[in-house]
Amino acid sequence: MKTKILALFGTLAIMAAGCSKSHNPDPDTTSATLEAQVLTDFPANLANPNYLDIETKAGIMKDAAGIFISSSTDANLKAVQDAWKNTRAAWESCEGYLFGPVEDFNYDPTMDDWPVNKVDLDALLASSNQLSVSDIEDLGTTLKGFHAIEYVIFGVGGTKKAAQVTEREKTYLASLTESLYNTTRELRASWDPSVSGNFTHQVTTAGNGSARFATRQDFFKALVGAMADICNEVADEKMQTPLAAQDSTLDESSFSHNSVTDFTNNIKGVLNAYNSSYNGTSGHSLSELVKAKNISLDAKIQSQITAAISSFSLLNGITYEKAIYDNKDKINQIQTAIRTLKETLEGDLDAFVETNIKD
Amino acid sequence: MKQLKVIVVLVLAVLVLAKCRKSEVFPVEHYDDRLSGGDETVFTATSTSFGNMFPGLTGYDIHVHELGDAVFSQTFVTAPAPIHSGLGTLFNNTSCTNCHHNDGIGLPTAGELQSSLLVRISLPGEDEHGGPVPVPGYGLQVQDKAVFGKTPECKINISYSYRTYSFPDGETYELRTPDYSLTNLYAPISGNYLLSPRLAPPMFGLGLLEAVPESEIAALQDLNDADGDGIRGKANYVWDAVTNRKMLGRFGWKANTATILSQVASAFNQDMGITTSVLPVENSFGQPQYDGLKDDAELPDSLLNAVKFYAQTLAVPARRNTTDPTIKRGLQLFTLAKCINCHKQTLTTGVDVSKPWLSNQVIHPYTDMLLHNMGPGLADNRPDYLAGGQDWRTAALWGVGLFETVNNPGYYLHDGRARTLTEAIMWHGGEASQSVAYYSNLSKSDRDAILKFLRSL
């Protein structure tokens, strides 16, 4: 009798289990749906608005340069400097996911090569060579882009006044800012879904006909790789090179003393990439994919990104050019926070993508 | 007592049987054929697949590799500068990565930011070491760019003529024949000069190829075609500026460079105009473009060695889908076509206890590291040590299936004239003529199987 009751309960249990299973969505289907949503939202909520923002701000900088050239006051120079910093912020945050046209078509080196070729730049300014936009576009990458503009408007040490900007520098500045603006337009168009051959299409069709990403895993691995790469670049190249050499002239963006802001925006770009977010708008994201299967890994990554970003407050507004001499311990703490994040991205997150994104 | 005898007899029998089985090397065919770079193989098939560090590196070696990686990607500027100083005055490009984009094969263009084609130049004849003769005022390589205020040596012009061909079964393919010329010469060149275009090659696996013993490569030679297969193969022996002696040539499209260090130092010097302790004389020395600065060597040894180490320790991407029946058939056909007689599947690196990551590795580079006559179609007609005008070193095929992924689109052969693997195959001639004929006469599905096999590399 007891055996019969047990058998009955056993049967019921199995049936119940069978019933409940049939009501649950297939986890693979759920996951695949979410992956597809991320592929849509990454370009829609991050890449496209970010690149549009860079273009808009580069346009404002170009216009500000025009106003300064026609009316060379200190206030108008400061407006150009501020516009440079705003454009720079949008650009640095997109470095959190440097893949696609920005690399394929050299938009990155064209806009942001460093160091400035100061010897050649000074010689060019001292010459009588033409400085039209087309002349600028023919120049090497170390004679144009963000840092050539920075050199002209801030000067070495960042103390430049309107009266110190020569007529020749003004001509150069007008063409430099227009050339940079042209490049940002091309970059924006390269992802624009309404433009033929756009890269957004390569992302949204990953694993489903995309020439660039044969599998969805390829896209997510490229994304994770780019996030880790910028961590490495910030902690062990941009920060480490001037620190190790104890030479502030080796610091990128030293003319404007904008380096700490650059670094911070780079890591904010990692957060944006992880959350498919830009300027407060976010969508389905890699974070969501991780959270669905490994909530503690997602929490770990979120907290490490936040820790890396907030670690820059240790410098308390001190310029990086000064901090490399006076605040080595604090710089080391920041580097450690970024390296820790990088290791998690390259290790845990990359492994997560390999294990969980199979299509 | 009887039990003891039985035990003794059994023990003896076991010993005798054990003796019968001679110890032997673990057979090559039992190795996992996905492991193209032996232990230093990485399982990745993305656009960054050629840029991975050897998995076997540890400790300080990782730091040196990463330092080399940073220098490799850094743009150099005109001297004097606080950082990355010494570009030019004459150069072809401003950073290593501008030519070796994603550590892969370059773009067959000249004069643009990521142009990766350079042109060697020389006069007919041989120098005192048996190498090419420099052109006065130009040296052995033309630099088509210069820092501000200096005149580039020339402009490199590339044009193509196109022609369509058919396989016997009617499928068509197009080959483009390049034409190279120099214009805007800064100074006249008297007499005839010889040109040879060279495309930047992929960077990975070089350390493993350097570690293959010279004896192993030399033993693959068949100078007089003793085995009668129509394929010869000869090693190049070249002058090495580091050791000041003749050495086996391993690198470059004509195997005209002996070591990675020489290759790296030569690229800094000739391609970027940056002097090192190995090659401390500016490429513009003796020319009006010379900077006259007393700043040589411009690149410190620590950074030179870091870049050398970086190039030595880039891992090889693994093969994909090796159990796919079509790919297996492709390999069989590749073998039957005798492609594999030059594109040797397997080499073994020498034992080097100081570099365990390079030591005693069974690798699958698909090259014999030897020079072969490739016929007049591919000829540059410019001798380079023992390499004649029609000779080229067998290109390593590992990773060739990822060229399109890493360097979209991919290009093939010494000057990137081939835009597809089919074109690359059909450009082969000379010792490879029989292989090309075999390939041409296959059915389309069999040709496709060979291509699919190549794409698995």
Q: Give me the DSSP letters along B209-223.
A: HHTS-HHHHHTT--T
Write the residue in B78, B83, B114 that is nearest to A250 by C-beta.
B83
Task: Return the pLDDT at B381.
Answer: 97
- The per-residue pLDDT for B9 is 74
User: What three-state secondary structure class fits B387?
Assistant: strand
Encode pLDDT of A93-117 as tens digits.
999 999 999 988 889 999 999 999 9
Which distant-in-sequence residues (6+ apart) come within 8 Å of A222 by Cβ?
A99, A213, B46, B47, B48
Query: What string of H, E and C letters represents the secondary structure of chain A?
Result: CHHHHHHHHHHHHHHHHHHHHHHCCCHHHHHHHHHHHHHHHHHHHHHHHHHHHHHHHHHHHHHHHHHHHHCCCHHHHHHHHHHHHHHHHHHHHHHHHCCCHHHHCCHHHHHHCCCCCHHHHHHHHHCCCCCCHHHHHHCCHHHCCHHHHHHHHHCCCCCCCHHHCCHHHHHHHHHHHHHHHHHHHHHHHHHCCCCCCCHHHHHHCCCCCCCCCCCHHHHHHHHHHHHHHHHHHHHHHHCHHHHHHCCHHHCCCCCCCCHHHHHHHHHHHHHHHHHCEECCEECCCHHHHHHHHCHHHHHHHHHHHHHHHHHHHHHCCCCHHHHHHHCHHHHHHHHHHHHHHHHHHHHHHHHHHHHHCCC
Residue B252, φ and ψ in degrees, nearest 5: 90, 155
Q: Nearest-CA residue of chain A relative to B406?
A: A212
Q: Which residues, at least 6 apart from B74, have a Cβ–Cβ distance to it below 8 Å?
A: B84, B95
The answer to whether residue A3 scores a pLDDT higher than 90 is: no
Reported confidence tier of residue A25, pLDDT bands at 50, 70, 90:
low
Flag if B408 and A118 touch (Cβ within 8 Å): no
What Å distances lie between residue B182 and A352, B179, B196, B403, CA to CA? 53, 10, 12, 29
| Residue B1: per-residue pLDDT | 59
- C-alpha distance from residue B235 to each of B216, B247, B347, B432 (Å): 11, 10, 15, 17
Residue B412's beta-bridge partner residues? B418
Q: pLDDT (tens digit, 9 = 90+) per residue, B146-202?
A: 999 999 999 999 999 999 999 999 999 999 999 999 999 999 998 899 999 999 999
Query: What's the mean pLDDT in A232-255?
Result: 90
Please list the ranges in chain B whose pLDDT falls under 70. 1-2, 12-26, 28
Q: Does A333 touch chain B (CB under 8 A)?
A: no
Q: Do residues A146 and A177 touch, judged by C-beta distance below 8 A?
A: no
Determine how β-strand B90-91 pairs with β-strand B145-146.
antiparallel
pLDDT band, residue A19 (cuts 50/70/90): very low
CB contacts < 8 A, A to B, total 76
In chain A, which residues have their Cβ closer than 8 Å to the Cβ of B78?
A: 117, 119-120
Which amino acid is present at B286?
A: G
Chain A touched by B78 (CB under 8 Å): yes
Query: Contact B78/A120, CB-based, under 8 Å?
Result: yes
| Predicted local confidence at residue A21, as pLDDT | 44
Task: Name residues whose C-beta falls within 8 Å of residue B398's C-beta, 6 or more positions apart in sequence.
Answer: B36, B37, B205, B316, B317, B363, B364, B365, B366, B457
Q: Which of A111, A119, A215 has the most B C-beta neighbours within 10 Å, making it the best mutation to test the interface with B? A: A119
On whether the CB atoms of residues B454 and B397 are closer than 8 A, the answer is yes
CA distance B419 to chain A (A): 16
| Amino acid A16: pLDDT | 46
Give me the helix-helix angle, A216-233 and A27-41, nearest 10°: 60
Please state the separation of Cα B337 from the chain's center in Å: 23
Q: Would you state the pLDDT for residue A338?
A: 98
* Residue B300 near chain A (CB below 8 Å): no
Task: Report, as an integer, the average pLDDT of A296-307.
Answer: 98
CA B416 to chain centre: 13
What does the alpha-carbon distance between residue A12 and residue B57 come to, in Å, rounded to a whole number?
57
User: B159: helix, coil or strand?
Assistant: strand
pLDDT at B15: 63
Beta sheet of B141-142, edge-to-edge order: B141-142, B117-122, B194-199
C-alpha angle with apex B189: B186 to B194, nearest 5 degrees?
115
Mean pLDDT of A131-158: 94
Under DSSP, the state recorded for A44 is I
| B407, closest residue in chain A (CA to CA) | A104
Residue in A65, A66, A95 with CA at minimum distance from that of residue A80? A65
Name the phi and psi angles at A28, rounded to 5. -65, -40
User: DSSP readout, A291-347?
Assistant: HHH-HHHHHHHHHHHHHHHHHGGGGTT--HHHHHHH-HHHHHHHHHHHHHHHHHIII
Confidence of residue A86 (pLDDT cuts 50, 70, 90): very high
Determine how many CB atoms are found less than 10 A away from the CB of residue B346. Answer: 14
Q: Does an H or E element contain B426, and which?
A: helix B421-427
Angle, to 10 degrees, between the axis of helix A48-70 and the axis of helix A167-191?
160
- Contact residues, A window 203-222, toward B, CB-based 8 Å cutoff: 211-212, 214, 218, 221-222
pLDDT at B11: 73
pLDDT at site A88 = 98
